[in-house]
Amino acid sequence: MSFKNSASGTALLKNLWQDNPVFRQVLGICSTLAVTNLVLNTLLMCGGLIFATALTSLTVSLLRDYTPKQVRMMVQVLIAAAYVIVVDIAIRAFFPEVHKVIGPYVGLIITNCIIMGRAEAYACKNPPLPSFCDGLGAGIGYSLVLLSIAVVREVAGFGTLLGFTLPRLDLWWHQWTILVMPPGAFFMLALVAWLANSFVVKPANTGGAK
Amino acid sequence: MNKRHPAYIVGFMVGLAALFGTAVTGLNLATRPIVERNEKLVRQEALVRLFRLGDPAQLTAAEVVGLVQRRIDESRTLRDPETGWETPLIQAYADDARTQLVGYAVRFRGLGFWAPIEGLIAVSADRQKTIGIVILSHSETPGLGGRIVEPVFMDQFAAGIRVLPVVDGKALYLTASPPEPGSPTYGRNLHAITGATQTCLAMERILNEHLTRFQRAMAAATPAVAARKDGGA
């Protein structure tokens, strides 16, 4: 059986597109709106989220047979918080310049619904490797959407990409300041979700539970 | 093993919290010296950049430390007689003998749009104009309020905003467009950034607060401190 058809492969690939956490599961919307006006911030946020989601899912899965049902969500938050703090400490110690840029957002990864959503929906019921792949896929799927929004917002709003001014763009493009402001994030997210759900993603089978 | 038993639940949570707590605390303790060294270096680089004593990007960490030790004097404390506010007086010199005063810097801290903004603002030796600013920490929204750290905002201070005299607690004025020559705010204005209006307003308030205290404290300073502004050793 190929990796693509294995439980791990399915968990990883489904989250990239078919069950994308942002435009299919509508998770992680707050940060999608907040960090996507600059591509660099988005990249760094995505890196932190991929790390935290994948390892939280792995740990939740490893502990699933020992975790009392009544406190499972507390356990998930505790695990997610620990990994996010690890990310924060590591960035602060080894990449202080990066920490200056995304420091305010790293702590907020704890509250990202994708981490809890995947832990609760998948990791607490499945083996470690597929759970890790599920978290990894969710993180990458989230990143794909965020980066596509961030590229449009930064280029159209600031006339730059990753902080570098795009040559000759100002000759024919007048910067849309609204795109780098909060309403711009709503417009872009709605546009991406509409495009993805209308033209790209096949409709889910609604023929009833199997 | 009954996972529903209260003792198990409490024990599990305590054990898990202790495990993760210990791991995170251990990592924090292990990296603390690195973080402290980084923070110290960041502040020293900020001082070098603030007074244009050199380009920190071209200097090694040891050179930055040496430059700050030789040319920055933080041994004096300023006190505002009206409010009792006290702050270290940062004085920078253009030479190692400390004969040519470049200017003064004062530390500022105040509430931005979301959380405190902390930094240093420098004024010329005659205290008439700003010569630079650095933001040491802030938690404003990246891409919006966070744009106050970008050159478009910071360079205005390096270009020189007139901050004397202080009128009704205002040393500088935030404006949406450049004032006409001859208007009271001409040469004393700070341009706001689109998307960072609230943070710029907060910066105007914080800086006016600190510059007002600083100017008052300097005016009332001891002769020894006052003499420094004229380049006296």
Print the SS3 string covering chain B: CCCCCHHHHHHHHHHHHHHHHHHHHHHHHHHHHHHHHHHHHHHHHHHHHHCCCCCHHHCCHHHHHHHHHHHEEEEEEEECCCCCCEEEEEEEECCCCCCCEEEEEEEEEEECCCCEEEEEEEEECCCCEEEEEEEEECCCCCCCHHHHHCHHHHHHHHHCCECCCCECCECCEEECCCCCCCCCCCCCEEECCCCCHHHHHHHHHHHHHHHHHHHHHHHCCCHHHHHHCCCCC
B27 CB burial (10 A radius; 0-12, 13-18, 19+): middle
B77 touches chain A (CB under 8 A): no
Confidence category of residue A30, pLDDT binned at 50, 70, 90: confident
Q: How confident is the model at residue A168 (pLDDT cuts 50, 70, 90)?
A: confident
Model confidence at B233: pLDDT above 70? no
Can you tell me the distance from the alpha carbon of A89 to that of A101, in angstroms, rounded to the nearest whole number?
14
Token pair for residue B173? 């004025």
Does residue A128 have a cis bond before it (omega within 30 degrees)? Answer: no
Across the interface, do B143 and A180 touch by the CB < 8 Å criterion? yes
Interface A-B: count of C-beta contacts within 8 A = 82
Residue B233 domain-assigned (yes or no): no
Question: Residue A53's pLDDT is what?
Answer: 93
3-state secondary structure of A205: coil
Q: Which residues pair with B116 in a beta bridge?
A: B111
Please report, for residues A1, A16, A144, the alpha-carbon distance to residue A4 in angstroms, rounded to integers and kept in the order given. 8, 13, 19
Q: Does some domain include residue B31?
A: no
Lowest model confidence (mean pLDDT) among A55-69, A81-95, A105-119, B19-33: A105-119
Tokens describing residue A21: 């956490």
Query: In what helix (H) or strand (E) does residue A87 lie, and over which residues does it extend?
Result: helix A72-94
pLDDT at A7: 84
Residue A64 lies in a domain: yes
* Residue scoring higher pLDDT (A159 or A54): A54
Please list every residue in chain A whose beta carbon sits closer than 8 Å to the beta carbon of residue B13: 71, 74-75
Q: Is A89 in contact with A59 (CB distance < 8 Å)? A: no
Under the banding of pLDDT at 50, 70 and 90, the label for residue A1 is low
In a domain, A1, yes or no: no
Does residue B93 or residue B221 have the better pLDDT? B93
Q: Does pLDDT of B199 surpass 90?
A: yes
Q: What is the mean pLDDT of residues A1-17?
A: 81
CA angle (B145 as vertex; B142, B147 as ends), nearest 5:
70
Those residues of chain A whose CB sits closer than 8 Å to some CB in chain B are 34-35, 37-38, 41, 63, 66-71, 74-75, 78-79, 81-82, 85-86, 89-90, 92-94, 96, 100-105, 177, 180-182
Q: Could you give the CA distance from residue A36 to residue A175 in angstroms, rounded to a whole number?
A: 16
Q: What is the mean pLDDT of chain B?
A: 88
Query: What does the pLDDT read at residue B49?
Result: 92
**Count of residues in chain B:** 233
State how far the Cα of A74 lies from the Cα of A81, in Å rounded to an integer.
10
For residue B229, the model assigns a pLDDT of 47
Domain membership of residue A50 (yes or no) is yes
Backbone φ and ψ for B212, nearest 5 degrees, come out as: -60, -45
Is residue A207 situated within a structural domain?
no
Q: How confident is the model over A158-182, as a mean pLDDT?
A: 81
In this prediction, residue A209 carries a pLDDT of 46
pLDDT, tens only, A109-133? 887 888 888 999 999 999 999 999 9
Higher per-residue confidence, B47 vs A209: B47
C-beta separation of B114 from B202 below 8 A: no
pLDDT at B185 over 60: yes
Is B31 in Cβ contact with A92 (below 8 Å)?
yes
**Domain membership flag for residue A205:** no
pLDDT score of A112: 80
pLDDT grade for B224, boundaries at 50, 70 and 90: very low
Cβ–Cβ gap A66/B142 under 8 Å: no
- Compute CA distances A120 → A129, A140, A172, whole Å: 16, 18, 49
A210 falls within a domain? no
Question: Rounded to whole angstroms, how far apart are CA atoms A108 and B187?
Answer: 41
Reduce the DSSP state of residue A68 to 3 states and report it: coil
Distances (CA, A) of B193 to A100, A177, A181, A189, B146: 20, 11, 12, 25, 10
List CB contacts (< 8 A) between B7 and chain A: none
Contact call for A74 and B13, based on CB within 8 A: yes
- The Cα–Cα gap between B211 and B228 comes to 18
Domains contained in chain A, number? 1
Q: What does the DSSP 8-state code read for residue A32? A: H
Say whether A93 and B13 touch across the interface (CB within 8 A).
no
C-alpha A78/C-alpha B17 separation (Å) is 7
Q: What is the rounded distance in angstroms from the CA atom of residue A32 to the CA atom of residue A147?
A: 9
Higher pLDDT, B2 or A54: A54
Measured CA to CA, the distance from residue B97 to residue A69 in angstroms comes to 71
Decide if pLDDT at B215 tops 80. yes
Does B103 map to a domain? Answer: yes
Of B197, B231, B84, B106, nearest to B157 (Cα)?
A: B106
pLDDT at B225: 52
- Lowest-pLDDT choice from A145-149, A204-208, B131-135: A204-208
Q: Is B18 touching A (CB cutoff 8 A)?
A: no
Residue B193 within any structural domain of the chain: yes
Q: List residues bridging with B189 in a β-sheet.
A: B173
Mean pLDDT score, A28-52: 83
User: Which range of residues forms the domain containing residue A16?
Assistant: 9-200
Min distance B36 CA to chain A CA atoms (Å):
9
Higher pLDDT, B93 or B177: B93
Domain region containing B122: 74-228
